Amino acid sequence: MSNNSERKKSTRLSREARQAEILAAARASFEKNGYENTTVAEIAAGLDLVEGTVFHYFGSKRGLMLRVIESFYQEITAELEDGLAAVKGTRNRLYYITRFHLHTINRSAELCAVILRESRGLEPDISAEIHRLNRLYTGHLIAVIKAGISAGEIRSGTSPTLVRNTVYGNIEHVLWDRVGDGKPVDVERVAEELTELVFRGISAEETRLEEGEVAALVKRLNRLID
């Protein structure tokens, strides 16, 4: 019966449409169950396909997971590039990137959590690919900081890599809170506070902070990552 159903569906869907259908189902399963607890058989059954059809298109569960991750990164990287192109000024661009990433984890928290876990997991192929894609994605922030240094808006000697790690490291804590309690992130507030904290520390403009201001900034940072 399954073979007949699969053959009927194959006559209706193009190769591209079939791949997209399987990827969407796989993404939903990975989000719900995680990589280890997802089986290709379950994905296929949910689409009324035989398991071999999934293997035909993606080779293995590892190959399927890699395609899901690649598709997600391509989607968010293209969206980030399109939006960032219209933003001028280093602080505004830093804010845009910060806000965009917060918005991404807000709408795709479960998949982001799976990707983060797998980046530290036991599948070296998956981990290596995640790190490659993540460098491309987060490289836009590094480019913004480098451009800001060249434009004189950011202090010379500022480490773009350290700024990137600070921004995305803080947002990682926000992600785990989002996954843990299920409450949506206040994207606008967190983006503004995190941008202010980071930019005040690297701006080329001389700003003298009073002791109370320093304490307030530290308190705000702690609130962001608690």
Q: Look at residue 207 and tell me whether its pLDDT is greater than 90.
A: no
Q: Look at residue 3 and tell me whether its pLDDT is greater than 80.
A: no
The packing angle between helices 61-84 and 124-150, to 10°, is: 10
Predicted confidence band of residue 216 (pLDDT cuts 50, 70, 90): low
Site of tokens 């990164």: 73
- The tens digit of pLDDT for each residue in 27-50 reads 999 999 989 899 999 999 999 999
The C-alpha atoms of residue 139 and residue 136 are separated, in whole angstroms, by 5
Distance of CA 43 to the CA centre of its chain: 23
Predicted confidence band of residue 9 (pLDDT cuts 50, 70, 90): very low
Predicted confidence band of residue 8 (pLDDT cuts 50, 70, 90): very low
pTM of the entire predicted model? 0.83
Predicted confidence band of residue 121 (pLDDT cuts 50, 70, 90): confident
Q: Look at residue 213 and tell me whether its pLDDT is greater than 70.
A: no
Q: What angle do CA 157, 158, 163 make, to 5 degrees?
A: 160
| Burial (CB count within 10 angstroms: exposed 0-12, middle 13-18, buried 19+), residue 55 | middle
The C-alpha atoms of residue 73 and residue 106 are separated, in whole angstroms, by 15
Section 71-99 average pLDDT: 97
Q: How far is CA 150 from CA 154, 202, 220, in A?
A: 8, 13, 30
What DSSP state is assigned to residue 205?
Answer: S
Average pLDDT, the chain: 88
Which value, in Å, is the radius of gyration of the alpha carbons in the chain? 21
Q: What is the pLDDT at residue 120?
A: 87
